Amino acid sequence: MQHSEELRAGPGPSPAMQILRRTSVLLWAALVAAGCQTTSPRPAAATAAGSLPASEPLVTNPRNWPDIFSYADPESFVTRSFALDLDVDFAASQLRGTVTLELDRIDPGARELVLDTRDLQIAAVEAAPAGRTEFKAVRFALAPRDDVLGAALRISVPRDAGRVRIAYATSPQASGLQWLQPAQTAGRQMPFVFSQAQALHARSMVPLQDTPWIRTTYTATLRVPAGLVAVMAAESDPGNRRGATEFRFRMPQPVPSYLLALAVGDLEFRALGPRTGVWAEPSTLDAAAREFEDAEAMLMKTEALWGPYRWGRYDVLVLPPSFPFGGMENPRLTFMTPTVIAGDKSLVGVLAHELAHSWSGNLVTNATWRDGWLNEGFTTYFERRIMEAVYGEDRARMEWGVGYQDLRQALDELAPDQAWRGALAPDLALHKGGEGSSVAYEKGALFLYQLEQIYGRAQLDAFLQGWFDRHAFTSVTTPQFVGELQQGLMAGAPGRVDPEFLSRWIDGTGLPADARLVQSGALERVDEQRERWEQGSLATAALRTDHWSAQEWLHFLNRVTRPQSRARLQELDQRFRLTESQNAEIAHAWFRLAIASGYPGIEPALERYLTGIGRLKLIRPLYADLLKTPQGAEFARRVYAQARPGYHAITQRSLDRLLKAGS
């Protein structure tokens, strides 16, 4: 890409940036907007990629700014902080009120502030000098809506203005909010609303500069109906309590917009440790507290590895089952799917993952979505290190093994024209968008593991601690990381890697041939049994699964050759009650095997699963599998029609596209 120099030079978007933005309108489906970890190629919606320059390698070309997913122009203005003052109106499914932005004018000549919005109603815009309250109405215009980026809000900012106040309301269909009826909650008595801002959804809640390159502090006042409790990923005012109708918050550390988060519902809190606790609906609280009881231990182990936790408290909010992700690392308050509550802590890797983001992601943040592996790859590596520290090496090795299979599958399923998606930091500007994939997660994690193996664990940990210290509360790019890696860890022990090492890992598509993998003896023994079982030399009744962990089950089910005979699957099902499994991951793996094998009898359970859960990673692959046969497709469409109203907008959007493509 050859645009950043022009960009840094002058006020307003450069021609190159404007071109990029225009092409982005055509090209981007929501890799980041959907963010789910599947790899199904979507139909080619655009053909403009051929007319753009070829992707330049990142190792040798440090220019991968700006953020093409935002209309914001940080060369003109940068938001330093904002104050939210909002009514949470359940009757209208709307947030309504004002946001006041405190701005730094980067270009003294800048007169136009461009904000990101999506489906917002803008009632009025006013400006005032910095630190003053004499607001005066100013001119503004909302540009036409782009499906992925939303609509740019252009505001005329007088020469002396440093603050802008916007009166607005969200749409009931806001992509970043889900408004739930009482019947969609665990308690079934009170309504619930929660947000999900990553990646491009903060702009559907607040007009702002929605790019991870910009960080702001904020304060917020939320007015809610009596009896409901409001929480945010921020410091809660000591006066906040059930029964109040006004809740106040402040986030004193600068955070990127995708970490803005709120929820309102019938919520109760239970402490887990001095700095940790869990929020959930009352009927879910006991189970949640048991499942996540190791949160404090995880927090302390992580501090020992990568330095102090800098966010004060670490709490977990358990959401209703329609939450579209496994977890979301909102600072101080991780948002969590209830599907992780398996009763045996077998899926708490998600907790370790979201906690780890308190360093990789929240403290040091990917500057653009192309740099996403700096968030997710680092975090996946840290997740495994935390699991090792808290639950032992065997557990961590198994989780590496399950993750590796995901990566293998993701890479193997890439169509030749999609090979670019196998890169660690794929050039999003030059290619069609799509759903997210496990590449940034697992290849990124393996890259750090490779560094660990080559340079030593202690050296890598020290280097990473330095990285977090140097860049705390800033946003970073891939070339920045590569540069510091070369000058730090690698320069400290020269000659350990060949000259192509970095470009192989960073720019190469696919997994480098020299990748070192984490071996798991337990998973190898699962493979041995599975192979004998598949060959018929081991009867189903003779399978030794008594002490299998969820990871061993997942490894077994994911790797069984398909299709399997119905008789074989029936034996498995009868012996191990897989169709009835209460472990959402195991049920998912079983359903995939059953669908691929045409095993009958899962339909009622599968229908309950698909209508009961909205977590994309668990349900999207099942819909995709079903679409492969006419009968399955019919079932999928019937179930989807019924389930869709209960899904989050992010899930709806992703599945709408999938089902449309499959017809």
What residues line the site for ligand BES (CB under 6 A)? 32, 35, 198-199, 325-329, 349-350, 353-354, 357, 376, 436, 441, 617
User: Is 354 designated active site?
Assistant: yes
| Nearest CA among 75, 69, 81, 152 for reference residue 116 | 152
Contacts (Cβ under 8 Å, ≥6 apart) of 479: 58, 59, 61, 62, 63, 64
The entry of ligand BES, Zn ion, none that residue 349 binds, CB within 5 to 8 Å by partner kind: ligand BES
The entry of ligand BES, Zn ion, none that residue 325 binds, CB within 5 to 8 Å by partner kind: ligand BES
Would you say 381 or 404 has its CB closer to Zn ion?
Answer: 381
List phi, psi (to 5°) of 355.
Answer: -60, -45
Would you say 440 or 659 has its CB closer to Zn ion?
Answer: 440
The entry of Zn ion, ligand BES, none that residue 174 binds, CB within 5 to 8 Å by partner kind: none
The entry of ligand BES, Zn ion, none that residue 460 binds, CB within 5 to 8 Å by partner kind: none
User: Smallest gap, in angstroms, from Cβ of residue 198 to ligand BES?
Assistant: 4
Catalytic residue among 168, 258, 391, 441: 441
Q: Which residue is listed with tokens 């400290």? A: 492
User: Smallest gap, in angstroms, from Cβ of residue 347 to ligand BES?
Assistant: 9
**What tokens does 5 get?**
């120099």
User: Smallest gap, in angstroms, from Cβ of residue 521 to Zn ion?
Assistant: 28
User: Smallest gap, in angstroms, from Cβ of residue 158 to Zn ion?
Assistant: 41
Cβ atoms of 113 and 164 closer than 8 Å? yes
User: Smallest gap, in angstroms, from Cβ of residue 51 to ligand BES?
Assistant: 29
Considering only residues 362-401, where is the footprint of Zn ion by CB under 5 A? 376, 379
Give the separation between CA 558 and CA 590, rounded to whole angstroms.
8
Catalytic residue among 75, 126, 354, 388: 354
The entry of Zn ion, ligand BES, none that residue 35 binds, CB within 5 to 8 Å by partner kind: ligand BES
Task: State the number of binding residues for Zn ion (CB under 5 A).
Answer: 2
Give the separation between CA 496 and CA 455, rounded to whole angstroms.
8
| Nearest CA among 186, 119, 205, 226 for reference residue 323 | 186
The entry of ligand BES, Zn ion, none that residue 404 binds, CB within 5 to 8 Å by partner kind: none
Per-residue CA distances from 481 to 62, 63, 222, 484 (Å): 10, 13, 39, 5
The entry of ligand BES, Zn ion, none that residue 199 binds, CB within 5 to 8 Å by partner kind: ligand BES
Considering only residues 310-339, where is the footprint of Zn ion by CB under 5 A? none
Asked if residue 11 has a cis previous peptide bond (ω within 30° of 0), the answer is no
Give the separation between CA 71 and CA 311, rounded to whole angstroms.
29
Cβ atoms of 10 and 75 closer than 8 Å? yes
Would you say 354 or 507 has its CB closer to ligand BES?
Answer: 354
Q: Which residues pair with 85 in a beta bridge?
A: 98, 221
Would you say 445 or 659 has its CB closer to Zn ion?
Answer: 445
The entry of ligand BES, Zn ion, none that residue 385 binds, CB within 5 to 8 Å by partner kind: none
Would you say 24 or 379 has its CB closer to Zn ion?
Answer: 379
End-to-end CA distance of the chain: 37
Give the separation between CA 276 and CA 183, rounded to whole angstroms.
30
Cβ atoms of 428 and 2 closer than 8 Å? no
Residue with the CB atom nearest ligand BES in the bound state: 35
Would you say 351 or 423 has its CB closer to Zn ion?
Answer: 351
Would you say 210 or 376 has its CB closer to Zn ion?
Answer: 376
The entry of ligand BES, Zn ion, none that residue 350 binds, CB within 5 to 8 Å by partner kind: ligand BES
Give the separation between CA 486 and CA 466, rounded to whole angstroms.
14
| Nearest CA among 554, 546, 583, 548 for reference residue 343 | 583
Give the separation between CA 138 and CA 156, rounded to whole angstroms.
6
Would you say 337 or 379 has its CB closer to Zn ion?
Answer: 379
User: Smallest gap, in angstroms, from Cβ of residue 619 to ligand BES?
Assistant: 12
Would you say 330 or 654 has its CB closer to Zn ion?
Answer: 330
User: Smallest gap, in angstroms, from Cβ of residue 74 to Zn ion?
Assistant: 25
Q: Which residue is listed with tokens 């308050």? A: 333
Got the DSSP string for 296-360?
Answer: HHHHHHHHHHH----SS-EEEEEPPTT-SSSEE--TTEEEE-GGG--SSSTTTHHHHHHHHTTTB
User: Smallest gap, in angstroms, from Cβ of residue 648 to Zn ion?
Assistant: 17
Per-residue CA distances from 239 to 236, 276, 297, 410, 655 (Å): 8, 19, 29, 48, 42
Q: Which residue is listed with tokens 């359970």? A: 605
User: Smallest gap, in angstroms, from Cβ of residue 655 to Zn ion?
Assistant: 21
Q: Which residues are identified as catalytic?
A: 354, 441
User: Contact positions toward Zn ion, by CB under 5 A?
Assistant: 376, 379
